[in-house]
Amino acid sequence: MHPSFHNVPLFSVLVIANVIADPPLGRGDSVGADAMPVIPITKRTLDSAEPTDRDRFLWDGEIKGFGVKVTPTGAKVYIVQYRTGGRNSPTKRVTIGRHGAPWTPEQARREAKRILGEVAGGGDPGAARQAEKASLTMAVLIPAFPSRARRTQAQAPERRRVSTPISQASLA
């Protein structure tokens, strides 16, 4: 037994040992109903996860940062949470996809490992995805603009007719 525990009752030693052996609860949250549980993410645990009045996060016991967000509507979304600059930097989350076809817990876990490997290599997958979304949006909008302009011009006479004020003479 450790020398500092000589005069401490056995029950206290067991409680202290149990607290030390338990994994951290909610990665920043308090103990209780709002604590974020660390569980093995399997199809069975996800099917039994019930929605609450706000978003709830379930964190995987195997891969740190991999989890599932359960929304109030009951949707289950696989996510990865990470930091790019160490302990003092803000956490970022990347969505992998919704639970169900095509994402199973095993496929999402593999994707989480890939994303976390990218983070370990110095990358920022969240920033890369945002940049990709912004470039895709412009790539889609630019070719679509001329066709939208033609439709708007074709509808112009109809808009003028509808917006022309009704005069007293036309009602008589």
pLDDT tens digits, residue range 3-49?
544 554 544 444 343 333 333 334 443 344 445 678 999 999 999 99
Structural domain boundaries in the chain? 29-150
d(Cα 104, Cα 1) in Å, to the nearest integer? 46
Largest CA distance in the chain: 107
Q: Residue 37's pLDDT is what?
A: 72
* Greatest mean pLDDT range, 65-79, 139-153, 156-170: 65-79
Q: Residue 18's pLDDT is what?
A: 39
CATH of 29-150, one of 3.30.450.20, 1.20.140.10, 3.40.50.300, 3.30.160.390: 3.30.160.390
pLDDT confidence bin for 131, thresholds 50/70/90? confident
Higher pLDDT, 137 or 127: 127
DSSP string, 142-161: HHHHHHHHHHHHHTHHHHHH
pLDDT at residue 140 tops 80? no
Residue ranges of alpha helices (H) inside the chain are 10-21, 43-48, 105-120, 125-154, 156-163, 168-171
pLDDT at residue 167 tops 70? no
Q: Residue 5's pLDDT is what?
A: 47
d(Cα 116, Cα 81) in Å, to the nearest integer? 9
Q: What is the pLDDT of residues 46-97, one digit of tens each?
A: 999 999 999 999 999 999 999 999 999 999 999 999 998 888 999 999 999 9
**3-state SS assignment for residue 31:** coil
Q: Residue 63's pLDDT is what?
A: 95
Q: Residue 135's pLDDT is what?
A: 78
DSSP string, 54-75: S-EEEEESSSTTEEEEEPTTS-
